[in-house]
């Protein structure tokens, strides 16, 4: 069956997309399900960019349209948080050289509404800045996002620096974003990989048990 949400995202039809998102929310559709369908639409945008059918302008527009849609979804997502007894502190950011933050921001929304304290360092975060923030807030968990394959090196460097500063045993590391999978996360020394916000929250809760 055709998915109007996914299609509107892939075809960059802003008003049609917003209209459909509002309709789905009204129907009571799970906000994570809506995000997942929109993400699949964004994946198509990425593929079309790869094939040179879309260019940077379309990539930028796609990002903006998704953010508009997310503003509608955010309040519903905030109500969905998995309430937790343990209130851990998480430092999170997109690694050096990478400016993608849409997915990271969704994960943050879900973590905050689940009761975690989250220190968001934004994008293009150096290994040194991550370590500094971990010390500042006395964090339990470090979250790193990367979508560019070339940015994996910066994530690896950050974990090396954690080890060097004797923080690795104290701070659990979780990674996510399209540059990662289970294997790459393990390879660079992360404790976990999460493919979506729900999994991210569950893993972070487990870290603190
Ligand atoms: C939108 C977009 C952009 C926007 C980003 C806007 C923004 N504010 O983020 C803009 C236009 C800025 C952009 C720029 C570029 N982009 Co871009 N972009 C995309 C696109 C289409 C969608 C990404 C996205 O937001 N997806 C939706 C979100 C919800 O999904 P997500 O990020 O995966 O996040 C989910 C999970 O991964 C997870 N998650 C994410 N982060 C974290 C963190 C933690 C801790 C955890 C636990 C979980 C987690 O939870 C999220 C929610 O489910 C992708 C295509 C793709 N397949 O991903 C290309 C893509 C990532 N971009 C690509 C490229 C090449 C670029 C540019 C180099 C293009 C250029 N020539 O300039 C620049 C790089 C700029 C830079 N230095 O970072 C390539 C990367 C190729 C590669 N393997 O390295 C991709 C894959 C497109 C492609 N197929 O070629 N891009």
Entry pTM: 0.95
Which of 109, 113, 111, 131 has the alpha carbon at shortest distance from 121? Answer: 131
Cα(41)–Cα(44) distance, rounded to whole angstroms? 5
Q: 26-30, 85-89, 140-144: which has the minimum mean pLDDT?
A: 85-89
Q: What burial class does residue 145 get, using C-beta atoms within 10 Å of its C-beta: 0-12 exposed, 13-18 middle, 19+ buried?
A: buried
Any atom of ligand 1 within 6 Å of the Cβ of 108: no
Distance 85 CA to ligand 1 centre (A): 33
pLDDT band, very low/low/confident/very high, at 43 (cuts 50, 70, 90): very high
| Candidate of 126, 178, 191, 204 to mutate for ligand 1, largest count of ligand atoms within 8 Å of Cβ | 178
Distance 169 CA to ligand 1 centre (A): 30
Q: Which two tokens stand for residue 55?
A: 């260019």
Domains, the chain, in order of start with CATH, read 4-78 (1.10.1240.10), 89-208 (3.40.50.280)
Residue 124 has pLDDT above 60, yes or no: yes
Any atom of ligand 1 within 6 Å of the Cβ of 44: no
Nearest CA to ligand 1 atom 65: 148
Q: What mean pLDDT, rounded, does the chain reach?
A: 94
Cα(138)–Cα(82) distance, rounded to whole angstroms? 23
Residue 82 has pLDDT above 90, yes or no: no
Q: Which two tokens stand for residue 94?
A: 């997109």
Cα(6)–Cα(154) distance, rounded to whole angstroms? 32
Residues 79 and 112 sit within 8 Å (Cβ to Cβ): no
Cα(140)–Cα(4) distance, rounded to whole angstroms? 41
Distance 149 CA to ligand 1 centre (A): 10
Any atom of ligand 1 within 6 Å of the Cβ of 42: yes
DSSP 40: H
Which of 16, 72, 6 has the alpha carbon at shortest distance from 37? Answer: 6
Distance 125 CA to ligand 1 centre (A): 16
Q: Which two tokens stand for residue 123?
A: 């994008």
Ligand 1 atom with the smallest distance to the CA of 32 is 53
Nearest CA to ligand 1 atom 30: 103
């Amino acid at each position: 069956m055709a998915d109007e949400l996914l299609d509107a995202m892939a075809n960059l039809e802003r008003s049609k997309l917003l209209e459909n998102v509002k309709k789905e929310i009204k129907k009571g559709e799970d906000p994570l399900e809506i995000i997942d369908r929109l993400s699949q639409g964004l994946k198509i945008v990425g593929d079309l960019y790869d094939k040179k059918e879309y260019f940077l302008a379309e990539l930028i527009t796609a990002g903006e349209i998704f953010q508009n849609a997310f503003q509608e979804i955010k309040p519903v997502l905030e109500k969905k948080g998995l309430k937790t007894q343990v209130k851990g502190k998480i430092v999170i950011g997109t690694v050096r050289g990478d400016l993608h933050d849409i997915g990271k921001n969704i994960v943050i929304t879900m973590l905050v509404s689940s009761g975690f304290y989250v220190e968001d360092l934004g994008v293009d975060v150096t290994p040194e800045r991550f370590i500094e923030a971990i010390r500042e807030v006395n964090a339990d968990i470090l979250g790193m996002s990367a979508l560019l394959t070339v940015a994996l090196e910066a994530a690896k460097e950050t974990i090396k620096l954690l080890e060097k500063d004797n923080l690795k045993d104290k701070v659990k590391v979780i990674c996510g974003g399209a540059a990662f999978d289970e294997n790459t996360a393990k390879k660079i020394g992360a404790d976990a990989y999460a493919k979506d916000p729900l999994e991210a929250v569950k893993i972070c809760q487990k870290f603190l048990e």
